């Protein structure tokens, strides 16, 4: 990494230690992101990393976004996914597909004070991402949206939503279209918040659209082009989830290694026993392999090269590694690891989602198989 990247990563790590760490347990228990923390993320420039300075962003790279997600997730993966959705999905979609008017209108807000959310999933549209029931009908100079979205991250905090609906149910994925919907729009409601196993501070809610009128100017891309927008942004988002899981694994390992040096049994620190050393060594190897996969995918994306296979690989492997490492970290802590006084208990719960959202492990394997075969 360059000196600038190393300095940026260290700045984010220090922020995570000083500003995020003290809030982790309370946010998890209350299932709510601290509002002052969200403001601090904007103030540090972490919510608009790849947005150009022209629009009030940090003017960084996609790789910078990945470094930030990793560093924050080592302390709290719930905050990590807030950054990930903002930078690799919402901001990325607008940067690539937005009109100049849309960029001028929304990018400064996304960099300054507006959280974004990405609304694709529905009750019957998970891995089959484009079996959408949400409909969009053109009426005059507006589109009328009707339907429900589920499992939408950042939904409670968000002021702008990228919403996918179909304009022609008979056209399959070719009818999928993306819209920019603002919080407070008539006919648009943020519904029930999910009570989740992990990343509990990250709000996950349903969205309800009932005769929601969206002006023609809020169409993102062309009608029927939503499939391409979703696929291309989700490929980048998978690298972000890989970074989240990488950070989680690193955080779990750091806690476990520190505890192993402090905890004494039979008159010795448990880190002095070869069995414990081997366990920590295997965990460290998994983390390093995940890091190389994640960083490689991010570098390929910034270079403009094809990164689809690498994105699927890094998301698949990092989520597998995070669950293994977090589970072993609980075992290193022993009985203490099974109670909430331990930091690794939360990380173990947080790890499970990595195999599920933004494409399950099975979907990643299907993508990898298609591209390697």
Q: Give me the active site residues, please.
A: 358
SS (H, E, C) 8-35: HHHHHHHHHHHHHHHHHHHHHHHCCCCH
SS3 percent helix, strand, coil of the chain, rounded to 5, is 60, 15, 25
Instruction: Give Cα 127 to chain centroid, integer Å.
Output: 17
**Cα distance between residue 202 and residue 198, in whole Å:** 9
Which pair of tokens denotes residue 45?
């420039």
Q: Which residue has the tokens 């309370």?
A: 26
Which pair of tokens denotes residue 141?
């100079």
Q: Are 328 and 276 in contact (CB under 8 A)?
A: no
262, burial (CB in 10 Å: exposed 0-12, middle 13-18, buried 19+): exposed
- Beta partners for 181? 161
Please name the helix (run of DSSP H) or strand (run of DSSP E) that holds residue 7, with its range, or none.
helix 3-15
Q: Per-residue DSSP letters for 169-201?
A: GGGGGGGEEEEEEETT-TTEEEEEEP--SS-TT
E-strand spans in the chain?
Answer: 115-119, 135-139, 142-153, 158-166, 176-182, 188-193, 204-215, 219-220, 264-265, 268-269
CA distances to 126, 237, 240, 258 from 92, in Å:
22, 9, 12, 38
β 142-153/204-215 pair status: antiparallel
**Cα distance between residue 111 and residue 41, in whole Å:** 10
Which pair of tokens denotes residue 89?
């999905």
């Amino acid at each position: 990494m360059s000196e600038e990247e190393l300095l940026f990563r260290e700045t984010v790590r220090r922020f995570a230690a000083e500003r995020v760490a003290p809030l982790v347990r309370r946010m998890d228990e209350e299932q709510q992101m601290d509002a002052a923390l969200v403001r601090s993320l904007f103030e540090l420039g972490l919510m608009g990393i790849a947005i150009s300075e022209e629009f009030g962003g940090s003017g960084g790279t996609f790789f910078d976004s990945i470094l930030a997600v990793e560093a924050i997730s080592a302390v709290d993966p719930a905050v990590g996914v807030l950054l990930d959705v903002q930078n690799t999905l919402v901001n990325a979609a607008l940067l690539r597909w937005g009109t100049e008017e849309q960029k001028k209108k929304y990018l400064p807000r996304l960099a300054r004070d507006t959280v974004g959310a990405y609304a694709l999933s529905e009750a019957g549209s998970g891995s089959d991402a484009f079996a959408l029931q949400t409909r969009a009908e053109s009426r005059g100079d507006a589109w009328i949206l009707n339907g429900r979205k589920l499992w939408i991250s950042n939904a409670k905090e968000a002021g702008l939503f990228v919403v996918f609906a179909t304009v022609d149910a008979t056209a399959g994925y070719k009818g999928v279209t993306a819209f920019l919907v603002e919080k407070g729009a008539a006919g648009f409601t943020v519904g029930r918040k999910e009570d989740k196993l992990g990343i509990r501070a990250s709000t996950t809610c349903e969205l309800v659209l009932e005769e929601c009128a969206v002006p023609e100017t809020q169409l993102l891309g062309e009608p029927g082009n939503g499939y391409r927008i979703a696929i291309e942004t989700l490929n980048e988002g998978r690298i972000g989830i890989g970074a989240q899981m990488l950070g989680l694994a690193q955080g779990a390992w750091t806690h476990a290694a520190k505890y192993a040096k402090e905890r004494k049994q039979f008159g010795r620190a448990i880190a002095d026993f070869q069995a414990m050393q081997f366990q920590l060594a295997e965990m460290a190897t998994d983390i390093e392999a995940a890091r190389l996969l994640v960083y490689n995918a991010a570098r390929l994306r910034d270079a403009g090269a094809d990164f689809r296979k690498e994105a699927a690989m890094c998301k698949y492997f990092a989520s597998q590694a995070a669950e293994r490492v977090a589970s072993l970290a609980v075992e290193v802590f022993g009985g203490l690891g099974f109670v909430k006084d331990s930091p690794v208990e939360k990380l173990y719960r947080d790890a499970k989602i990595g195999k599920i959202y933004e494409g399950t492990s099975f979907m990643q394997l299907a993508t990898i198989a298609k591209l390697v075969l």
